[in-house]
């Protein structure tokens, strides 16, 4: 069922993107005599130099640091689902599905709430929202580890994942505010 839903989501996205229309040519300035490998190497090296010489390089780490929580949390979700050895395999599967549903709900709801706290004209509001997101992640992780109730584990999973998604989205917005347009894809 999940694969069918994912597939339908991609098909719908593809259809919507196709409806945009227009004439797009992202490679107007590229030299046709330069190989693809050389272009990738040049873009990577110039992107790293740009980040290294910038004042905003910690923002790159801010965005990347949110991904550290997700890998470990996905593994922990399996442990949380299998905590009670008396549960049947079906019950453990239900719990795991519930945990990943909580992740999805947190990723959907909390960024919408956070959007009300930010103003694109004031980058500091976006940065403050990122700081708040790390507090949400910390509360979520602590709550997951401290409480034994599965319902509370679901609640704290939503907090953790919502905080992570806020940091992911808002740090990307912040990067787009401070990075030169020609360097956006490299940073």
Average pLDDT over residues 137-150: 91
**Considering the entire predicted model, what is its pTM?**
0.73
Average pLDDT over residues 127-134: 90
Average pLDDT over residues 111-130: 89
122 has which bridge partners?
A: 119
Pair 100, 77: CB distance under 8 Å:
yes
Averaged confidence pLDDT in the chain: 85
pLDDT of res. 137 = 92
H helices then E strands: how many in the chain? Answer: 6, 0
Q: Which of 153, 160, 154, 155 is nearest to 139 (CA)?
A: 160
Q: Distance (Å, rounded) from C-alpha 162 to C-alpha 113? A: 10
Q: Which of 20, 143, 153 is nearest to 79 (CA)?
A: 153
Q: Distance (Å, rounded) from C-alpha 108 to C-alpha 110? A: 6
């Amino acid at each position: 069922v999940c694969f069918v839903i994912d597939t339908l989501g991609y098909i719908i996205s593809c259809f919507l993107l196709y409806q945009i229309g227009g004439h797009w040519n992202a490679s107007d300035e590229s030299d046709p005599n330069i190989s693809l490998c050389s272009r990738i190497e040049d873009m990577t090296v110039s992107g790293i130099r740009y980040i290294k010489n910038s004042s905003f390089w910690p923002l790159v780490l801010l965005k990347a640091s949110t991904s550290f929580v997700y890998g470990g949390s996905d593994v922990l979700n399996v442990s949380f689902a299998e905590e009670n050895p008396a549960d049947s395999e079906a019950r453990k599967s239900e719990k795991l599905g519930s945990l990943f549903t909580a992740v999805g709900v947190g990723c959907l709801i909390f960024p919408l709430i956070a959007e009300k706290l930010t103003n694109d004209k004031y980058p500091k509001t976006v940065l403050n929202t990122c700081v708040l997101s790390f507090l949400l992640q910390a509360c979520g992780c602590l709550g997951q580890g401290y409480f034994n109730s599965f319902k509370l584990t679901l609640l704290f999973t939503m907090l953790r994942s919502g905080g992570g998604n806020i940091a992911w989205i808002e740090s990307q917005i912040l990067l787009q505010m401070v990075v030169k347009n020609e360097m956006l894809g490299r940073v």
